[in-house]
Amino acid sequence: MIILRDEKRIARLNLLAKITSYGGMGILLVGLLLAFVTQDFQRVFLWQLTALFVGWIASQVGIYLTQRYVRSPRPDQVLDEAVRKVAKNGRMYHFLLPAPHTLLTPHGIIVFNPRPNTGKISVVGDKWHQKGGVLRRFLGQEPIGNPTQEVERMVEGLANFIRQNAPEVEEVPIGALIVFTTKGATELDLKESRIPAMHYTKVKGFLRQQKRDLLPQDVYDAIRRAFDQKAAHLTEVVYEGDSI
């Protein structure tokens, strides 16, 4: 499998994650300390409120970015490990296309939505629930949101990209997969998900079971050219594995 990854983007957002995380905590601390450095509470109340709000926003941005660009292994690295053994002829594009994690194989396209969430998570259709979500957010963990709608937006964005950059391709199926990328401490009830969703340890088995026809060679070549144009400045990294 060939990996194409925008390492400069990752490094840039890794730094931003650290700045917003530590900066947010620092601003929150300043907001709390303001109440103790003056006797005129009414005078500093507005400044304190502003500091707490800005600090909280910065910390939330930091949490979001940290989950994707700082933690080790990162979600994109977990995806690589999960699919490389069943996508020998695949090309994985990270942070280059409208769908940030896109796998192109001779059989078609798969868009991944990696989720770092832990705990007890369930879904029925496209209604997601995470037990203790409010408490987890207070403790600095990202809320579950709606992974189904997220990946659908990614698929639509990628479809528009193909229409614009490979107009000779009339229609191509785009698969979608929601993948939870955190090890341990995760209880998932995902059987009722409208879009396939699973822990990363089950991705390989799921992909092996999929029986899909090969894309016409001219269609595959056109899509690959369009995708590769977005990665022209990158060096390909080859991961060995088994064929799908």
**Interatomic CA distance for residues 53 and 194, integer angstroms:** 37
Whether 243 shows a pLDDT value over 50: the answer reads no
Q: How many CB atoms lie within 10 A of CB 129?
A: 12
Tell me the CA end-to-end span of the chain in Å, nearest whole number. Answer: 11
DSSP state at residue 29: H
**Interatomic CA distance for residues 235 and 171, integer angstroms:** 29
Question: 174 has which bridge partners?
Answer: 109
Read off the pLDDT of each residue in 79-87 and give the average, rounded to a whole number.
93
pLDDT in tens, 171-218: 899 999 999 998 875 789 999 999 999 999 999 999 999 888 899 999
Whether 228 shows a pLDDT value over 50: the answer reads yes
pLDDT in tens, 110-145: 999 999 988 899 999 999 999 875 555 555 577 899
**Interatomic CA distance for residues 26 and 30, integer angstroms:** 6
**Interatomic CA distance for residues 101 and 226, integer angstroms:** 15
Q: What is the pLDDT at residue 244?
A: 43
pTM listed for this prediction: 0.86
Residue whose entry in the numeric block shows the structure tokens 């990614």: 154
Read off the pLDDT of each residue in 73-94 and give the average, rounded to a whole number.
94
Q: Sheet holding 237-238: strands in order across? A: 197-199, 174-180, 108-115, 101-105, 91-94, 2-5, 237-238
Whether 9 shows a pLDDT value over 70: the answer reads yes
Whether 96 shows a pLDDT value over 60: the answer reads yes
Q: How far is CA 95 from CA 3, 47, 197, 200, 220, in A?
A: 11, 38, 21, 19, 21
pLDDT in tens, 12-64: 999 999 999 999 999 989 888 877 776 666 777 888 888 889 998 998 899 89
